Structures are given as structure tokens and as C-alpha cells.
């Protein structure tokens, strides 16, 4: 078993930059590499990546969390999530050189999940994947509008805070109505171009991927809802998801970053249960 005291930094190079990570050792053949997305870094919102990595190590699964270029203590040249392939590959190589692991799981939240899919075809290994609330957002897309109409406005009408503002005359109905009508129009007349670059590259990565995948989606998160709406409407993505070995779980009452203990524990439990079924775990 690992303890907090056995965690240690592991620095490695990517091109001309030095990247910083924290390795959580455990006597397992498998290591979970936590890829962080912007504007996060290896700690994570609400310290979630620290807590997740420690939970994995305590359960006997090694973990590694790191900052890619321009994030946290890594740098100085910043890269966007859709150009983080070399950083992910460098992290895999560093962990493989540091410890003898036979298999790897790449875990990413939001645009880090997207970064993983984009990087897949050119990685030196074929890892298993844990994708959490993948990012497929594009400004002014029909899917964004449909997501707001289907999920945001319905829940907003049930919030006591809204009605309190209305009673205090602090609510601007004309501005809200204009926003609503704009989104209503977009939901009917604007559609996402699924060939847009980063989404096309995500599709290519998942199409290339041949290992099992765990997909976790927060119940109360518009990013997750937009992913659901998009993949339901896009025929190519819908067929691809049906063709792959993907276990999908909804995290009940969870926001985007699992800010409460209950939802974070759900994520950890699902991950550990899924990893425990891996051959040679």
C-alpha cells in the first residue's frame, strides 16, 4: 500500500521544457496517468486529482498526475489541449522508465479527455481510457443552444433564487427573453460541423482505439449534456460509440468537477471497479 509520504515528484522533459508530475507508487502492474486540462493543473479543482490519485494508490493502483507545458509548474511554452500529444507521450515514457508497469490507463476530465482522444493514434502504447465529461463545445453551435433549452432553462425555472430575484425586481425579463429566443433560433437553424478540427481529431482517436473505455458523465453538468446531445445527433459519432467497448455511467447529482464528497467518491468507486476488471490488473 502507498501512503501520502511515499508520493514523490517526477520531473521529465518534453522538447526543451521540463514538466512536473507527482508519482503515487503502488504494487500494481497498472498505472493511471491523470491528464489535466486547462485551466486546471495537477492538483485539480477541490484537490480532486490529489484525492483521486491517493485513493487509487491506497487501493493498490499506481497513479501519476502531471502538468503539461504552460500549466502549473511545467513550462514555459504553453500548449492548448489539442496539441498536448507530446506532453502525454513524455509522461507515459517517464513513468515507464521510472517503474515497471505493464499497462496504463489515461484519465482526463473535460478538455483533458478530448486531449487524450486526439493524442491516441500517435502514442507509443494503446492504453485503456477513463473519459470524464468530454469537451465538444463550440461557440454558437446548435448543440449548445439545444443543451441550454433542454436542461438549463427547465431547471432554472425551479430555482427559488430566480423567483426571489423576480419578486425583488432584480430580474431583467427582456434580456433573458432575448437570450432564450436567440438560443431557440440556433437550436433549429444551426448545426455543428462535426468535421471541425478538434472534434474530427477526437473521432479519429476513438476510431483508432481498440481497448476498453470508461465514460463518466455528470448529471448536473452542461458540458456532459452537450456531449450527450452531440453524440446522439451526429450519426458517425453515434455509430462509433455503439461499436466500441465503452462502459458509461452517470454520476448522480454531480457538477462538472465533482465538488462534493459524495460525487467525487462515486467517480473513484466507478474507476476502481472498472480497473479491477482489467486483465492483469
78 and 25 share a domain? yes
Q: What is the pLDDT of residues 231-247, one digit of tens each?
A: 998 999 999 999 999 99
63 and 128 share a domain? yes
80 and 156 share a domain? no
CATH number of the domain bearing residue 74: 3.40.50.1820
49 and 103 share a domain? yes
254 is a domain residue: yes
18 and 92 share a domain? yes
236 is a domain residue: yes
How do beta strands 213-218 and 30-35 pair? unpaired
User: If we measure between CA atoms, which residue out of 25, 235, 257, 232 comes closest to residue 133?
Assistant: 257
267 is a domain residue: yes
- Which strand (E) or helix (H) includes residue 18? strand 17-24
Cα 89 to Cα 5, 9, 61: the distances in Å are 27, 18, 20
72 and 204 share a domain? yes
**Domain ranges, residue 266:** 4-138+194-276
What are the two backbone dihedrals, phi and then psi, of residue 64, each rounded to the nearest 5 degrees? Answer: -145, 125
Per-residue pLDDT tens listing for the chain (281 residues): 555 668 999 999 999 899 999 999 999 999 999 999 876 778 988 899 999 999 999 999 999 999 989 888 887 777 889 999 999 999 999 999 999 999 999 999 999 999 999 999 999 999 999 999 999 987 655 555 455 445 454 555 445 564 455 456 555 555 554 554 455 455 444 555 544 799 999 999 999 999 999 999 999 998 999 899 899 989 999 999 999 999 999 999 999 999 999 999 999 999 999 999 987 66
281 is a domain residue: no
161 and 232 share a domain? no
Give dist(CA 214, CA 109) in Å, integer: 12
Number of domains composing the chain:
2
271 and 200 share a domain? yes
**Number of helices followed by number of strands (H, E) in the chain:** 11, 8
219 is a domain residue: yes
131 is a domain residue: yes
53 is a domain residue: yes
Amino acid at each position: 500500500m502507498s501512503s501520502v509520504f511515499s508520493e514523490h515528484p517526477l520531473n521529465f522533459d518534453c522538447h526543451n521544457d521540463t514538466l512536473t508530475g507527482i508519482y503515487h507508487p503502488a504494487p500494481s502492474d497498472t498505472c493511471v496517468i491523470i491528464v489535466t486540462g486547462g485551466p486546471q493543473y495537477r492538483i485539480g479543482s477541490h484537490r480532486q486529482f490529489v484525492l483521486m490519485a491517493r485513493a487509487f494508490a491506497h487501493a493498490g493502483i499506481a497513479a501519476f498526475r502531471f502538468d503539461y507545458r504552460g500549466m502549473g509548474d511545467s513550462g514555459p511554452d504553453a500548449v492548448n489541449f489539442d496539441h498536448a500529444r507530446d506532453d502525454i507521450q513524455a509522461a507515459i515514457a517517464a513513468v515507464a522508465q521510472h517503474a515497471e508497469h505493464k499497462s496504463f490507463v489515461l484519465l482526463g476530465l473535460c478538455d483533458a479527455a478530448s486531449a487524450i482522444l486526439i493524442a491516441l493514434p500517435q502514442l507509443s502504447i494503446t492504453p485503456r481510457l477513463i473519459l470524464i465529461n468530454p469537451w465538444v463545445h463550440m461557440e454558437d453551435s446548435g448543440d449548445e443552444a439545444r443543451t441550454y433549452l433542454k436542461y438549463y432553462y427547465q431547471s432554472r425555472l425551479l430555482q427559488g433564487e430566480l423567483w426571489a430575484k423576480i419578486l425583488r425586481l432584480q430580474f431583467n425579463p427582456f434580456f433573458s427573453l432575448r437570450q432564450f429566443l436567440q438560443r431557440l433560433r440556433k437550436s433549429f437553424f444551426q448545426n455543428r460541423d462535426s468535421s471541425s478540427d478538434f472534434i474530427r481529431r477526437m473521432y479519429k482517436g476513438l476510431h483508432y482505439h481498440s481497448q476498453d473505455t470508461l465514460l463518466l458523465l455528470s448529471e448536473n453538468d452542461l458540458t456532459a449534456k452537450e456531449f450527450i446531445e452531440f453524440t446522439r445527433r451526429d450519426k458517425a459519432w453515434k455509430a462509433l460509440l455503439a461499436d466500441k467497448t465503452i462502459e458509461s455511467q452517470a454520476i448522480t447529482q454531480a457538477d462538472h468537477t465533482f465538488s462534493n464528497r459524495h460525487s467525487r467518491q462515486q467517480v473513484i468507486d466507478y474507476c476502481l471497479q472498472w480497473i479491477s476488471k482489467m486483465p492483469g490488473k
